[in-house]
Every structure is written in structure tokens, then in C-alpha cells.
Amino acid sequence: MKAPSFAIFFAIVLAIYASANYYIFIRGWQSIPADSPQRKYYLVVFLLLSLSFIAGRFLERLWVSWVTNLIIWVGSFWLAAMLYFFIIIILLDLIRLLNHILPIIPSIILNNYVAARQITGYAAGALVLVLLIAGHLNARFPRIKRLDLSISKALETAPNLKIAVASDIHLGTIIGRARLDKLAEKINALHPDLIILAGDIVDEDIGVAIRENLGESLRSLKAPLGVFAITGNHEYYAGVEEACRYLADHNVTVIRDSVVKINGDISLVGREDREYNRFMGKKRKTLTELLSGVDPSKPIILLDHEPFHLEEAVGAKVDLQISGHTHDGQLWPIHYIDALLFEIPAGYGLIGNTQFYVSTGFGTWGPPVRLGNRPEIVEINLKFK
């Protein structure tokens, strides 16, 4: 990514992050009586929480230890807490505003306003804590999502194909070796013919995976037709060349703007992630270019991490596209935003004669929390006819 564009992007994100934290801090500060000693403790704790994620991400590039891991874990949970504190405070402020127009707050609360603010603050904190715990437990137990699909093209070599798909693992400090071991165990238990890792396999710093050898579990993945992957946006954030080398060293074949023949007749097409354009300063290959030598009478499976511009796959007569990236919003109510950005934000869809599946993903980015959706490993049972 070019330095000026990255600096602008980072400045915007930092400004939004700082503004949201300031808004939460001020409302929390106002809920504590002015003469209470709790204010100084609140100030210290809030500063530590709000700075932990950014500090941890910078520190892990220089020094990996239990200290940096702890800071990142705290900061990651704070990202989710920040979202829900922000929503709660917005709702409370809207109620207060409405009360000026149409009195709806009971007089008993207005007459004991200081105590009511304290109780509300404690209640908000308890609610957010419950949401974090529930969301974290949900994030740690992926479901097996099974799909039975058919492609109306004859296949001479075999009439069926079982594909195991895992996207958005985000291997790093939060998703470590133990979680990857469980992923490999669950995938192997499906006895797939083919394994696909649909992008964002590593998180933001490939150095963490390398130093801790987190990807060793990838070697245990077993499928007769192989283990294939594509790049996601986080491979580029982590350093795409080093990330791809690391995956290759652990028996994962990364398909980068190219086509691989599976079982002789199936074309497995892997696109570079859209971040290729920004980081490499040139455009990734078009589908027309990628499929120029492909026989359209045979099955075509497209792997594209970010499910944008689905009409391209339809126009290219792709039979099945597999994507990830969206996490289905990961945190409620962000999935409503995803629904505006993506034609198929998660799950199965059919457009024309092209089938699509957008996985909610296995891991998490940022908060180790999922609310409103489930992490998943996808088993696709394909029939050719």
C-alpha cells in the first residue's frame, strides 16, 4: 500500500476510534459523583483499556511474550466492549433527548438523578460483560455447516466431490495453536476429498505465526486431492510473500491468479485478493483472463476471498464461487452493514446459473467475540450430473 494512502486511512480510523472512546469516557465520568475517589481509578483503567489494542499490535512486531499477548487480549475484548458501550450510551442519550420533548422518565429517577446515573453505569457494565462472555464462548465452538449442491456438468472421473472449507482463520495471537489443532481435527474427521482455505488464514503479523510456529497444525490436514488456499486482505497486511511462503512450507498450495486442475476435469480458480491492486500497484487478473484456457463444459469452482461484484462470476459461467471475508458482521448489529455492502453477506445464494457460498469464517478479527452468528467449517458435498 502506498504510504500516503495508508497514512490517511490510519488517521481516519484512529480519529473514529479516539472519538468513540472519548464519548464513552465522558459519559462514564459523568456517572461518577464529582467528589468520589472512584474517578481517578476510572481514568486509569479507561486509559489502559482504550490504548491496549493499538499498543499491543505495535509491540508484538518488536517483542512477543506473555505480556504483549495479554495486552492484545485485553485490547481485543475492549473493541467489542467499546461497541456495546457506545450503543448503550447512544440509546440512553436518545431517551434523555426524547424526555425533553415528551416526558417519559419517571419522577423517582429524576429526583434521584445522581444515584440513577451510578446504577445505570453499573448495569451497563454488567450487560456488556455478559455479552462479552457469551460472545466469546460462541466464538470458540464452530459448527459444521453441511451443503448438498449439484452442478449440471458431467464428470468422468467421479460423480461426487466432498470439499471442506475454512475461511478467515486469522492465525495469530488470538487464534493460536490450540484452536488450529481443533480446526485440523474437525476437518480431517469429515474425510474430505479436497480442503480449501478461503483467505485470511493469517492475521496482521506473520511474524507471530513464524516465531511461535503456529501453522504446524496445517501439516496434519489430509485430503487426497490436496489442501489449497487463496490470499485474503490480511495476507497482504501481514506481508503477502512471506505469508504465502509460510503456507507453502506447511503443505498448503496457494493459488494466486491462476487455475489448478482437480481430478483432471475440475478447474479450481484462485483469485488474488482485492488488496493486490493497492499493495502491488497494479490490477489483479480479470476472470476473463483467468478463464481464457478453461473448458466451460467442465466444472469451474472459483475461490475469491471478498464477495464483491458477483456478476463477474455469473458472466464468466462459473459453477460455484466460495468466499469469506464478511464474518457475517461478527458482532451484532454490524451484519446489517454487511447486508448493505454485499449482495450475499453470508450463506448460500444462487444468481443465474452460478452458486455462491460466503462463509461466516472460523476465527475472529479484533474481538475474540461473535454475537448474532456462528463460526463454521463448511462441508460441501458436490454432485455432478
| pLDDT tens per residue across span 165-216 | 999 999 988 999 999 999 999 999 999 999 999 999 998 788 888 888 888 8
Let me know the angle formed at the C-alpha of 78 by 77 and 84, rounded to the nearest 5 degrees. 100
Question: First and final CA of the chain: distance in angstroms?
Answer: 45
What is the number of other CB atoms lying within 10 angstroms of the CB of residue 253? 15
One digit per residue, the tens of pLDDT, for the chain of length 385 reads 555 666 787 788 889 999 999 999 999 998 888 888 899 999 999 999 999 988 888 887 777 788 888 999 999 999 999 999 999 999 999 998 988 888 888 878 777 777 888 888 899 999 999 999 999 999 999 999 999 999 998 877 778 899 999 999 999 889 999 999 999 999 999 999 999 999 999 987 888 888 888 888 899 999 999 999 999 999 999 899 999 999 999 999 999 999 999 987 899 999 999 999 888 888 999 999 999 989 888 999 999 999 999 999 999 999 999 999 999 999 999 999 999 999 999 999 999 999 999 999 999 999 999 999 999 999 999 999 8
What is the 3-state composition of the chain as percent helix, strand, coil, each rounded to the nearest 5? 50, 15, 35
Whole-prediction pTM value? 0.90
Domains of the chain: 3-138 (no CATH), 143-384 (3.60.21.10)
Packed helices 38-59 and 3-30: angle between N→C axes, nearest 10 degrees? 160
Whole-angstrom distance, CA of residue 152 vs CA of residue 202: 35
